[in-house]
């Protein structure tokens, strides 16, 4: 039956709350309103305002409160209303959520899920479209998960809530209302497993979250150019599945990593480095990256220039040295002018 990612996330929360009394859902506007994206719609009516409730408008407070609730034995699932609004909570996340298990040699664990609607492509004004996944992925102790399909939205969120460790659950806003056939409750591959969404022989596109549909569309368009591209959906940035990504690139010999976030020091850089380290002798071309620009997220009328789209992906695929010649743009100037 066709359902949206938003509805799948809502069903995952409802089913988790029904299965486990310890699960509590809270944040800003998540109660009666059901969240600004309606992900918590109906939860307060069904489970009562002790299980799903609004809080003061304070993100550090929300996450710190979740730490205390988790210490008391509950399983908090908190919503950060938008990516950039989660920044006040960063100290709580980096210094406590991520570290408590380690600081206490396992005596305390804080199995919290921090849901973050993230990334752009929805025409949002500033501070509503940040791709903040690298901040979390760079913080040991956190798991960082981002679904790209409806079935994964359900399954990964259920797994996040059941996980003994804190999970930052990054929900691509532009996919909330994407729809697909999915029989819920769906169970897909577990944390730590990337998935080949489209098999191909000529090159591997590695993508996660909002970049996955872009990669699939690009792979489809690439057929006209004679390229048969494989698409790997990372799904869980932490823990990262080197095995699946490496196996794919060893098969195809070429790799492009795609992320919506600004590129510098991003998750794509980490993936590209890991692929290069592990697949050097199988590579026919350098590992390339496609990303957003290294700029603050632009105003809505300019966001299409920033966002990596099919054309940017195909232009990059074209630079994968199909003629076995070096990429002219990286050659030293003298050599380049002599050529």
**By the criterion CB under 8 A, which residues form the site for other proteins?**
24, 50, 55-56, 58, 60-61, 63-74, 88, 91-92, 95-96, 99-109, 140-141, 143, 164-165, 192, 238-240, 242-243
- DSSP structure string for 154-208: HHHHHHHHH-SS-EEEEEEGGGTT-EEE--SSP--PPTT--EEEE--SSEEEEE-
- Comparing CB distances to other proteins, the nearer of 98 and 314 is 98
List 128, 138, 284, 304, catalytic entry:
128
- Comparing CB distances to other proteins, the nearer of 101 and 115 is 101
- Comparing CB distances to other proteins, the nearer of 50 and 281 is 50
Q: How far is the CB of 336 from other proteins (least distance, A)?
A: 38
Any catalytic annotation for residue 128? yes
Angle at 102 between CA 101 and CA 107, to 5 degrees: 45
- Comparing CB distances to other proteins, the nearer of 102 and 335 is 102
Distance CA 61, CA 69 (A): 12
Query: Is residue 133 a contact partner of residue 237, using CB atoms and an 8 Å limit?
Result: yes
Write b or e for each residue in 296-320: b if 16 or more Cβ atoms lie within 10 A of its Cβ, otherwise e.
ebbeeeebeebbbebebbbebbeeb
Distance CA 314, CA 277 (A): 24
Q: Residues with Cβ < 8 Å from 286, sequence gap 6 or more?
A: 276, 321, 327, 330
Q: How far is the CB of 125 from other proteins (least distance, A)?
A: 25
Q: Which residues are catalytic?
A: 128
């Amino acid at each position: 039956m066709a359902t949206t990612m938003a509805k799948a996330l809502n069903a995952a929360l409802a089913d988790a709350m029904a299965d486990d009394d310890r699960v509590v859902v809270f944040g800003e506007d998540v109660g009666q309103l059901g969240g600004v994206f309606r992900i918590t719609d109906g939860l307060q009516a069904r489970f009562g305002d002790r299980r799903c409730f609004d809080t003061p408008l304070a993100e550090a407070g929300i996450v710190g409160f979740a730490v205390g609730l988790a210490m008391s034995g509950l399983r908090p699932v908190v919503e950060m209303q938008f990516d950039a609004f989660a920044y006040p909570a960063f100290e709580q996340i980096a210094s406590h959520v991520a570290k408590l298990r380690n600081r206490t040699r396992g005596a305390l664990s804080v199995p919290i899920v921090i849901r973050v609607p993230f990334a752009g492509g929805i025409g949002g004004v500033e501070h509503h479209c940040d791709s903040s996944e690298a901040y979390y992925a760079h913080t040991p102790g956190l798991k960082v998960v981002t679904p790209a399909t409806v079935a994964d939205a359900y399954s990964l969120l259920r797994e996040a809530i059941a996980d003994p460790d804190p999970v930052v659950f990054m929900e691509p806003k532009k996919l909330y209302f994407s729809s697909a056939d999915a029989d819920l409750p769906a169970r897909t591959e577990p944390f730590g497993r990337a998935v080949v969404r489209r098999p191909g022989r000529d090159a591997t596109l590695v993508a996660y979250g909002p970049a996955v549909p872009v990669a699939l569309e690009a792979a489809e368009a690439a057929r006209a150019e004679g390229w048969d591209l494989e698409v790997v959906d990372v799904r869980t940035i932490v823990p990262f599945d080197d095995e699946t990504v490496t196996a794919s690139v060893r098969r195809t010999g070429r790799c492009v990593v795609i992320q919506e976030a600004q590129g510098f020091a991003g998750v794509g850089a980490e993936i590209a480095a890991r692929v290069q380290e592990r697949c050097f002798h199988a590579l026919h071309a350098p590992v390339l990256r496609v990303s957003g620009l290294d700029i603050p997220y632009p105003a809505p009328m300019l966001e299409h220039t920033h966002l990596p789209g099919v054309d940017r992906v195909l232009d990059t695929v074209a630079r994968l040295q199909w003629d076995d010649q070096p990429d002219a743009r990286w050659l030293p100037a003298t050599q380049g002018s002599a050529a």
